[in-house]
Structure 1
Amino acid sequence: MEKVAVVVQDGAEPFGLGAMCEVWAEPYHPEDDNPVFDFVVATPRPGRVRGASGYDLHVDHDLTAAADADLVCVTPKRDYLAPSPEVVELVRAAHDRGAHVFAHCTAAFVLGEAGLLDGRRCTTHWRHVEELRERHPEALVDPDVLYVQDGSIVTGAGSAAGLDAALHLMRQQFGARTAAAAARRMVVPPHRDGGQAQFIARAVPDCDAETLGPLLTWMNENLAEDLSVDTLARRSHLSSRTFARRFREETGTTPHAWVTRQRLQGAEELLELTDHSVDWIAAEVGFGNAAALRHHFTRARGVSPQQYRRTFAGVRSA
């Protein structure tokens, strides 16, 4: 992935554009050794592009500037049900030539108009999930996730979930260490657990919403320990049933899923940064043996630990 094009239309939402710039338009930082992309912002008609928040944009490039991009990002706009036909055609052509296509928030409707969501898992902002289903009944809309990748098509939920989706792509293309460095620069977590449902359920958290914070920190620092529900419940002085319920309320996921995700992230970093055997890494992050690590890693990442190491081995020397 060398060239990234971000597409804006009249009524452009500023956060969507800003989020993509934060991830893909950064100059080189020696302390991070971050990748630098050929980055361009394009629009159907260059010049003044109306904004959605009291100020407009000036964009120099038309859509031909995005015609050879490895990643085409479509940002949301105020009137999301009326996408530019030129943009619809651009994303269809980008997909046909094998580029990645990423739609942030309600920009998923652009992909729907292009026919790219038929038979694919996808998401959008929770307020517009039912509308996306109604307009594109062949799309497999998941209302509970922060982002979805189905093949080369990526869709993200509202606002900050665009950063989650972009960091996912960064992690996939350049490894966990590079994505973590980008997240650290933006002062956001490299991976958020849970999905939209945890934010929809209660806009204002209950008074005990952060009670498990210290435990989560301890769990992440002790991945090789017994982290079963019964053990964690005893450590929290709760019954197993109460602990499991509270864990889901506060994190949006189950203890098992949370622990597995942290162990996978730990394994990624060790595969990148060390020459230790897969058996050693499996024990270090709590999977116990190489077979268990291979099972979970391949299921979650689509490649084996050895394949992942070969892909990102160069990161160790950075």
Structure 2
Amino acid sequence: MNEIKIFCPATIANLSCGFDVLGLCLQTAGDEMIIRKSQIKGVRITKIVGADLPFETERNVAGVAALAMLETIETEFGFEIEIYKHIKAGSGIGSSAASASGAVFGINELLGRPFTRKELVLFAMQGEKLASGNAHADNVAPALLGGFTLVRSSNPLDIIRIESPSELYATVVHPQIELKTSDARSVLKQTVSLKSAITQWGNVGALVAGLYTQDYDLIGRSLHDEIVEPLRSVLIPGFDLIKKTALENGALGSGISGSGPSIFALSKGKETADKIAKAMSAVYDQMKLPYEIHVSSINPEGMKILPNPAKIEAC
């Protein structure tokens, strides 16, 4: 195999109570990439459609992740990467993670899979470090592994994959403003009160328990953020009203997707997820604020190979 076309899924990180440790993989939203072997060693970004991103390998998250991987293995050839962006940068649903994870996943496939998907997470994290200044795994882990992921430790890396309850759906609304992860991190405090920390620990544990036992009510009760949401929500237009609207229309819980500005809601069943999407849309329509909205089941597979690596039409 000399060329591969892949789907690079969007993700929701943090999930309210799990800052930097919890994430889930979406089924319906994501980028596409084509990666091919080249006689010229190294990594080159040859095409980017749908976003104004750097072509220089060392300045592109896909390039940086790929280089980190190739530093650990000898190859007789290089790689060319085409990126077709459908996830907007700064959207809060893992745009940089999709690119970084897609690059290492695709190259790994072309090399005959010398690394496991969990091992690829370490390389993809280097792309995240370029994007946000912090090598976090809460987006790249679910993008590569699918389902829900819990990052127990980043050093050494220890990731637990969790199957999603079968009827769980996500609704995500992205107001059309860009909120850089680095900017969203700058508003956070470096210390938290013991009371808030205890509440947060309880919710993280309960959320994981709810996922394992498929207890939707427990999942909903656990989607509460004592620490990050109060600081970041002021950066997102209409956040409080969107969250209130989601809950009134049947959401189990709602919060900031990643670093924002996207807002997510989890629900039981697609019918409720669609109802929430309609209600969220009405809020931003009333505010006359452009937005994108996604309704998705939880992607159990993560990155996947697409058929026919021919040219992809422009976004």
Bin of the TM-score, shorter chain as denominator length: under 0.3
**TM-score, normalization by structure 1:** 0.26
* Rg larger for: 1
Which one scores higher on RCO, CA 8 angstroms, separation ≥ 6?
A: 2
Structure having the higher strand fraction is 2
Structure having the higher helix fraction is 1
